[in-house]
Structure 1
Amino acid sequence: MFRFGQIRVRRRPSLTPMIDVVFLLLVFFMLTAQFGRDTAVPLLAAGGSDRYDGPPRLVEVTPIGVSLNGFATPQDDLIDQLIDLTQTPEDLIVLRPDAETTLQRLIDIADLLTQAGFTQLAVVE
């Protein structure tokens, strides 16, 4: 007759190595995540009480460029032309994206204007 070894009681798998791996992944993702300061672009609320003074300053934002008061303008020249149209950096500048413009593109232009010192930006449809 055949003799087999003793019947062993089946052990349950240990969860300790899996918990260690999950902990290491958690630490990895926490350390590699970008913890940056959020920046905000100041915009005027619709229907604000500020009165519009001076020449028109309408910046139309498209996916491929910008236009100032209806004339296509290179993005590099936009700041110089707006400085000529404003008396102070607090003068209102109106931004209007077209239907195909992404929000990121609009924010990039608004950020460009904010970095140039313009503080009063309004977005219209």
Structure 2
Amino acid sequence: MTEDGFDLGPRRHPRRMSLTPMIDVVFLLLIFFMLSSRFGMDAVLPIAGGAEGAASEWQGPPRLVDVAPDSISLNGVPTDPDELVAALKALMPEDGGAVVLRARDDADLQQMVDVMDRLSAGGLSNLILIE
């Protein structure tokens, strides 16, 4: 009993906080991030490096394809995308050669990939991508 006449009973120790809810949240976050992340290989685009960085002699006329947001140009001349492969094949040397691709005026990646796919489907696989 205290001086006031109240009996508070035995003194209790404060309860320790349970870590179980925090561990549950951590595991839920772990599962969420595992399920939302991508596993596996991304698509790989083969791009030639121009003889793997070694100096090589350019053969034939220039073959520079500029990809802009609204147009495609071959050596500075606007070209219809459907006629691009035929126009490039006329400029190619007999033993094959490289085609230089350059993105211009904020062209997005999808436009560049579309041009690369079009050229690859037309048999032009030696592509060099420049800035």
TM-score (norm. length: structure 1) = 0.68
Residue identity opposite 1:79 in structure 2: V
Comparing 76-85 and 53-62, the one that deviates more: 76-85
What is the deviation of 1:92? 0.6
Q: Does 1:30 align with 2:34?
A: yes
TM-score (norm. length: structure 2) = 0.65
Q: Does 1:95 align with 2:106?
A: no
Aligned to 1:108: 113
Comparing 26-35 and 102-111, the one that deviates more: 102-111
Flag structure 1 segments of 5+ consecutive residues without an equivalent. Answer: none
Quick one: percent identity of the two aligned structures? 39
Change (3 A) 1:51 1:24: same
Q: 3-state SS of the aligned residue for 2:73?
A: strand
Structure showing greater Rg: 2
CA deviations 1:98-125 (Å, max 9, x no partner) are 3x33573575256425642433222345
Q: Is the 8 A contact 2:97 2:126 kept in 1?
A: yes
Counting matched residue pairs gives 124
Change (3 A) 1:4 1:54: farther
Flag structure 2 segments of 5+ consecutive residues without an equivalent. Answer: none
| Structure of higher RCO (CA pairs closer than 8 Å, 6+ residues apart) | 1
Aligned to 2:129: 123
Q: Distance in 2 between matches of 1:111 and 1:97?
A: 12
Q: 3-state SS of the aligned residue for 1:20?
A: helix
1:41-120 alignment runs, 5 A limit: 41-45=46-50, 48-86=54-92, 90-98=96-104, 100-101=105-106, 104-105=109-110, 107-109=112-114, 111-113=116-118, 115-116=120-121, 117-120=123-126
Q: Is the 8 A contact 1:110 1:121 kept in 2?
A: no
Aligned to 1:9: 13
Change (3 A) 1:9 1:69: same
